[in-house]
Amino acid sequence: MEVVIADGLSSDLTINKINEFTIKHPDLEIRLIENPDRNIPSGLNRAMAEAQGQYFIRLDGHSVPDKNYVSKCVENLELGKGDSVGGIWIISPRGSSWQAKSIALAAAHPLGVGDAKYRIGGKAQEVDTVPFGAFQKKLISKIGGFDETLLANEDYEFNARIRRSGGKIWFDPEIRSRYYASSSFSTLSRQYARYGFWKARMLRVHPGTIRWRQFLPPVFIISLLFFIIGGLFWPILWSFLVIELNAYLLILILTGVFLAVKKKDLILILGIPIAIATMHLSWGSAFIWSLIKPSLK
């Protein structure tokens, strides 16, 4: 097996760690290449251009694959389950703080992420996307590589092209990797704002790919703005604003209480509502901003 690592001109100890690992594992072919553009899609394309194998299996940072990750990916591909296959994230906190624990649970809860199977689990089935993805080299010749104009959501856009070409994305829960979520609400906010911004940019090319889980946060924010601004002219709308906010907060708090009891950790009563609200508001606001920004240039 060949491992190709695309490094975005690291200034920390990344290169040293890779070199140390290479020395300790002389039987494994490891090639380190530079990614001068320092973004994910360009790194992926450069790595795939260098790779010589029949299969491409993508692995990103902040995650650790299960010991049978590669074999399960190849097994699904050889059985023809999908043109791109992937599995489930076992989401873990990045640290022991109450914020990190809350974020990890929120990132795997349907209220926070909707019906994304790779986060909440489910049986093996065809889906709209999987994390990372494993596919045959010939797929790149058919649909092209990753879109380097997208600094996030490049994987979803890639999967959208697979589906548009008549292919399918396959989820197998036996393909497992451990993903380490954000450690603080501030980093979570920046992460989801990036996701929302680039999701809107991706939808300009693939407008039919939006799912309800992606549609609801911007609609929620638009409704809040409508009630707030409309209330200046029709005060009755402020009553609807109060009702909507109270209902939203009640759902968040009940979710926090449920998880606090389940995990026997009372701080989750506070942490879960903050984490989920941060995800919704950051994603939705950035999505809306991305849609209106061109008209402001």
CATH number of the domain residue 58 falls in: 3.90.550
- In this prediction, residue 53 carries a pLDDT of 87
- In this prediction, residue 207 carries a pLDDT of 85
Beta strands in 2-133 (DSSP E): 2-7, 29-34, 55-57, 63-65, 84-92, 125-127
- Is 24 part of any domain? no
Least trusted range by pLDDT, from 6-10, 89-93, 131-135, 180-184: 6-10
The answer for residues whose C-beta is within 8 angstroms of residue 118's C-beta and 6 or more apart is 86, 87, 88, 89, 127, 129, 130, 131, 171
Whole-number average pLDDT of the chain: 93
- Is 22 part of any domain? no
The neighbouring-strand residues paired with 91 are 179
Are 178 and 87 a contacting pair, CB within 8 Å? no
Across the range 213-234, mean pLDDT stands at 93
Distance CA 118, CA 134 (A): 14
Distance CA 17, CA 1 (A): 20
Distance CA 150, CA 158 (A): 11
- Is 9 part of any domain? no
pLDDT digits (tens, 9 = 90+) for 241-284: 999 999 999 999 999 999 999 999 999 999 999 999 999 999 99
Confidence class of residue 68 from pLDDT cuts 50, 70 and 90? very high
- Is 25 part of any domain? no
Side-chain-facing half-sphere of 204: CA atoms under 13 Å: 12
pLDDT higher than 60, residue 296:
no
C-alpha distances (whole Å) from 5 to each of 20, 56, 58, 71, 154 are 14, 12, 10, 20, 18
- In this prediction, residue 28 carries a pLDDT of 87
11 vs 130 pLDDT, higher one:
130
The answer for residues whose C-beta is within 8 angstroms of residue 233's C-beta and 6 or more apart is none
- Is 8 part of any domain? no
- In this prediction, residue 100 carries a pLDDT of 97
- Is 253 part of any domain? yes
- In this prediction, residue 210 carries a pLDDT of 78
- Is 185 part of any domain? yes
Confidence class of residue 101 from pLDDT cuts 50, 70 and 90? very high
pLDDT higher than 50, residue 169:
yes
Total domains in the fold of the chain: 1
- Is 32 part of any domain? no
Range of the domain at 168: 39-292
Q: 7: left (phi > 0), else alpha (psi -120 to 50), else beta?
A: beta
Distance CA 265, CA 98 (A): 9
- In this prediction, residue 295 carries a pLDDT of 53
